[in-house]
Each structure stands twice: as C-alpha cells, then as structure tokens.
C-alpha cells in the first residue's frame, strides 16, 4: 500500500529534477541566426525542436522509473513528461531571456565532449549561478555559505536525490542502495567544490570538511531508509567521499586520446576512462559493501 509520503516524495523528486534540467538545458531558446533567417520571415517562434522531444522522452523515462517504485510506471511517465513540458506550455519569454537560454544550452551541451574538468565546472557554474554583489569578506566560512546558496544546483540536487530515494525505496529494495550511494558520493564532489580555494594556494581542509559533512548526511539518510548500522554506514560514506574528493581535487585536462582495443571489436580511449573514472574504484567497491551490510542487517 502506497503511503502519501511516497507519493509526495516522488512528486517533489520529479519537480526538482525538472528544475535542474531546465536550468542546465532550457527548452525554450533561440539564437540570432535562426531569428534572422528562419523565424523572422515566418513571423513565428517555433516551440518544438527534435532535442526538446528527446529531453521530454528521457525525462518521461525517469518518471517511469519513479512510477515503477510507486507501482504506476505509466502515470509516472505521463506526469514527468507533462512537468518537463511546463516551460513550453506556460512561460512567455522575452528575446533576451531566449538568447540567454540558448547560451546556457550551447555551453552546457558542449561540456559533454569537454576534456577539461575545470572547464566543465566553470561552464555549469557560469550558466546556473545566481549573480549577486555581496560585500567583500575574508572569511572562508562566509564565502562557502555564499557559494552554497548562490549555486541552486546544490540545494536542488539534495532535494532530488533524497526524495528519489524516499519515493523508490521499499524494505525489499536493498539493491537501490548501490546507485544511491554512488550518486550521493558523486554529488559530493560538486558540493566539495564550494570549499575550493586552490587559486589562493590554500589548504584543502574546507573541501574535506564539506565532503565529510555531505557523507555523514548520506549515511544518516541511508540508515533511516534501510535501517543499516549507523556507524559502519557512516564509515563507508566517509571513506568513499574523502577518497573521491582527494582523487578529483586537482583539475585534469586531456590533450590527446589513445584508442585501445579491448578485445571485443570495441576501442576505448584510456584517457577518457581515466577522466570519468577518477576516484571511482573505492566508492564502487564500498557501494557493494554497503549493499551486503544492509542485507546482513535486515
């Protein structure tokens, strides 16, 4: 029997994830070339493009996964697709905001092929940051708080991950703890960047503290959902989070790719594997350790 909490959590998860997607890949956007050569002669601004349909279908699939956890995948698909379509159905945007959205869409789409981790981070921050002009301060604590509050992806990410776990978990969905652990640890690397002062040649301790606090929060949520031992769960999250933070503390840039035949007719560039897999070995092993810990405790 579904509880109202599961339904509300699923709805919040879909809405918060839709907001994240809209900030990173806006649905409504135009560029100056299309405006001059395509839209102005027709005196209309098209609402649908092929990439919009792809986004809606992908988001609908995510809603179907959440709906499957709530035993209604079809309604999850339809509901998520409609929520993702909300900016198209309701918002009436000006040309300036449409141009700005196109800049964000192009910038964030280009990071999919970027080979520089610092460039990826700066692109995401530049297109989603709330621009403010606070008074100058030398306090690292205040700077970290400002970074956390000005970067809405962090708050929305916490909301999305936690409500996704609440909506999809059941006493028998122990396997869900593995992707939840990995997603939480990966998201922790984004949170830890709020304490990054490398340009000032400062100590990495603020990053480590943020990563540790984030890990403890994930351990508390895991314990509440799957009744795992708190101390051992916190230890697994701490080790995984700090290991990933240490591995990804220094930005990496790739200048060349070397294709290696893996033996099945597939070539894989080792540099890309290193770029995207940095620091994931220990968290990946610990994720299955968490699974067996929860299974043994239950």
**Lookup: tokens for 13:** 């998860």
Instruction: State mean pLDDT over 222-249.
Output: 90
The per-residue pLDDT for 261 is 64
* Cα distance between residue 71 and residue 1, in whole Å: 10
The verdict on pTM exceeding 0.75 is yes
Summarised one tens digit per residue, pLDDT across range 52-61 is: 888 899 999 9
Summarised one tens digit per residue, pLDDT across range 56-115 is: 999 999 899 888 877 888 999 999 999 998 888 776 667 777 777 777 777 777 776 667
Instruction: State mean pLDDT over 33-38.
Output: 67
191 versus 44: the higher-pLDDT residue is 191
Summarised one tens digit per residue, pLDDT across range 187-215 is: 998 898 888 887 777 788 888 899 999 99
Q: How close are the terminal C-alpha atoms of the chain, in Å?
A: 21
Q: Compute and round to an integer the Cα radius of gyration of the chain.
A: 21
Of the candidates 231, 241, 236, the one whose C-alpha atom is nearest the C-alpha of residue 289 is 236
- pLDDT of 236 over the 80 cut: yes
49 versus 224: the higher-pLDDT residue is 224
* Cα distance between residue 129 and residue 149, in whole Å: 9
What region does 243 belong to: left with phi over 0, alpha with psi -120 to 50, or beta? alpha
147 versus 290: the higher-pLDDT residue is 290
- pLDDT of 264 over the 70 cut: no
């Amino acid at each position: 029997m579904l509880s109202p909490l599961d339904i509300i959590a699923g709805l919040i998860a879909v809405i918060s994830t839709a907001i994240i997607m809209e900030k990173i890949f806006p649905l409504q956007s135009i560029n100056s070339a299309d405006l001059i050569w395509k839209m102005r002669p027709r005196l209309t601004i098209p609402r649908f493009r092929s990439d919009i349909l792809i986004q809606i279908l992908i988001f609908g699939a995510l809603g179907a996964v959440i709906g499957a956890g709530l035993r209604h995948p079809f309604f999850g698909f339809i509901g998520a697709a409609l929520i993702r379509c909300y900016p198209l159905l309701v918002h009436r945007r000006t040309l300036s905001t449409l141009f700005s959205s196109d800049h964000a869409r192009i910038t964030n789409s280009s990071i999919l092929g970027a080979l520089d981790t610092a460039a990826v981070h700066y692109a995401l921050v530049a297109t989603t940051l709330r621009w403010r002009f606070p008074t100058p301060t030398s306090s690292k604590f205040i700077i970290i708080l400002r970074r956390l509050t000005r970067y809405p992806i962090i708050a929305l990410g916490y909301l999305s991950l936690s409500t996704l776990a609440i909506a999809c978990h059941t006493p028998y969905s122990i396997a869900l703890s593995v992707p939840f652990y990995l997603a939480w640890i990966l998201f922790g690397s984004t949170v830890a960047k709020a304490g990054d002062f490398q340009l000032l040649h400062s100590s990495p301790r603020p990053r480590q503290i943020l990563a540790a606090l984030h890990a403890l929060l994930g351990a508390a949520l895991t314990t509440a959902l799957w009744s795992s031992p708190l101390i051992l769960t916190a230890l697994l999250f701490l080790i995984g989070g700090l290991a990933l933070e240490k591995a990804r503390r220094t930005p990496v840039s790739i200048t060349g790719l070397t294709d290696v035949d893996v033996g099945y007719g597939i070539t894989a560039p080792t540099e890309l594997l290193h770029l995207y897999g940095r620091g994931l070995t220990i968290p990946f092993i610990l994720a299955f350790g968490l699974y067996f810990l929860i299974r043994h405790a239950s």
